[in-house]
Amino acid sequence: MSPDEIKALIKDVPDFPKPGIVFKDITPLLADARAFGAIIDHLAARSAKLRADGILAIESRGFIFGAALADRADLPLHLVRKRGKLPRATVSVEYALEYGTDHVEVHKDAIAKGGRYLIVDDVIATGGTAAAVAKLTLQQGGEVAACLFVLELGFLDGRSRLDGFAVDSMLVL
């Protein structure tokens, strides 16, 4: 399935989650087995030569793509969540939002010193969450092998917040 065919499945939802926002709904990609398979093929091809030791999948739709990639690449999957959602001891990092701050965290034993990790999410918009996960990875002594996304909202320039890291997006809008 071509990138253009996959891109055509993405639906615009005006005024969601608030007025003035055009939400990019990727759930049709999940409902189409050929499209989903092509996405995982793309992610697996991009990650094959990166010598990663694990995957850090960002809540929540990143879990879907991260889990499929972890299975395909035979790598451990670690979940990156908002504060208070993981059951065991965690490490976290605070990051800036447009109005205020938020936190992401991972289990304390997820990132090994010297380990190389793929950061995986469905969409990169402003890049703040992915940059926070990269910072958390480095703070724990890990390395960022690459940041992989299904969709990049290029007009928001989130890639610039990941300067110095390899970034790959299957689709750019």
Over the stretch 70-91, which tens digit does the pLDDT of each residue have? Answer: 999 999 999 999 999 999 999 9
Beta-carbon contacts of 2 under 8 Å, excluding residues fewer than 6 positions away, are none
Report the half-sphere exposure of 129 (CA within 13 A, side-chain side): 22
Model confidence at 155: pLDDT above 90: yes
Query: CB burial class (10 A; 0-12, 13-18, 19+) of residue 34?
Result: exposed
Confidence (pLDDT) at 97: 79
The residue from 5, 51, 81, 98 that is catalytic is 98
The residue from 61, 72, 116, 143 that is catalytic is 61
> For the chain, which domains are there?
50-172 (3.40.50.2020)
Tokens standing for residue 50: 């990166």
pLDDT band at 22 (very low <50, low <70, confident <90, very high): very high
Dist CA 28 CA 73 (whole Å): 24
Residue 72 bears catalytic tag: no
Dist CA 37 CA 143 (whole Å): 28
Residue 116 bears catalytic tag: no
Model confidence at 165: pLDDT above 80: yes
Task: Output the CA torsion 126→127→128→129 (10° steps).
Answer: 120
pLDDT: which is higher, 85 or 96 = 85
Confidence (pLDDT) at 100: 81
Q: How many residues can be counted in the chain?
A: 173
* Structure-token match 């299957």, residue found: 170
